[in-house]
A = this chain, B = another copy of it.
């Protein structure tokens, strides 16, 4: 199943004792629908406040509900901030996390004087000017296979910090002349992301955009393998798990 959610009201994706999570809501809806206590497998967890446009989950069910009816049936049991918009029957060996080949994350910054109140749960406001060209330069240097220790929370439990970024780009929406602001979307596609990796990359790019650092520093930060050299961890609510790839689909729309 492919699922969108607004993470604002949830303690992240993954079930935690005493917390309200997206996984709990999905498993509860599945229980109502199938009568089975199913455990879902997701492509990965998302932190509290982080959103998803295309999170992917899988589960094994005995239900005889035809797969083409699953989306609407699930949505009737889900709160309005979670939406299932695709459901497919897959081969038995499919595993939403292990079978994932690539993932795209999107991070959105509202640049300029005023926030857009209709999107403020999904955008981080940055009133000071940012140089997009320097940020693009910095971002380019992350493409390829690197050890991302410097761009990863020290709390990580991952054994290897080597990941590949296949593509990374920045899209700016046209300026809203009344609000004197525009949305900047930073997209990153890779074979996997370490704990807080996108948010630390964005925090570092913001430093570059503000002129606090030069874009050429990215290379030396990567080489140093030292979290303290990268920028701060950007706020969670600008982040969205955009798409998970299981085949060789094109990276950009």
Residues of A within 8 A of B (CB): 2, 4-6, 51, 53-54, 71, 75, 80-83, 85-86, 113-122, 178-180
Q: Is the CB of B117 within 8 A of A83?
A: yes
Q: From residue A192, how far is it (CB to closest CB) to chain B in Å?
A: 22
- Give the residue of B83, B86, B117 whose beta carbon is less than 8 angstroms from that of A115: B83
Most interface-central of A2, A4, A71 (chain B CB within 10 A): A4
- Give the residue of B2, B6, B54, B178 whose beta carbon is less than 8 angstroms from that of A117: B6
20 pairs of residues in contact across A and B, judged by CB atoms under 8 Å: A2-B178, A4-B116, A4-B117, A4-B118, A4-B179, A6-B117, A6-B118, A53-B178, A71-B114, A75-B114, A80-B115, A80-B117, A83-B114, A85-B113, A85-B114, A85-B178, A85-B179, A85-B180, A86-B178, A118-B122
New contact pairs (16) apart from A5-B117, A80-B117, A80-B120, CB-CB < 8 Å: A2-B178, A4-B116, A4-B117, A4-B118, A6-B118, A75-B114, A80-B115, A82-B117, A83-B114, A85-B113, A85-B114, A85-B178, A85-B179, A85-B180, A86-B178, A118-B121
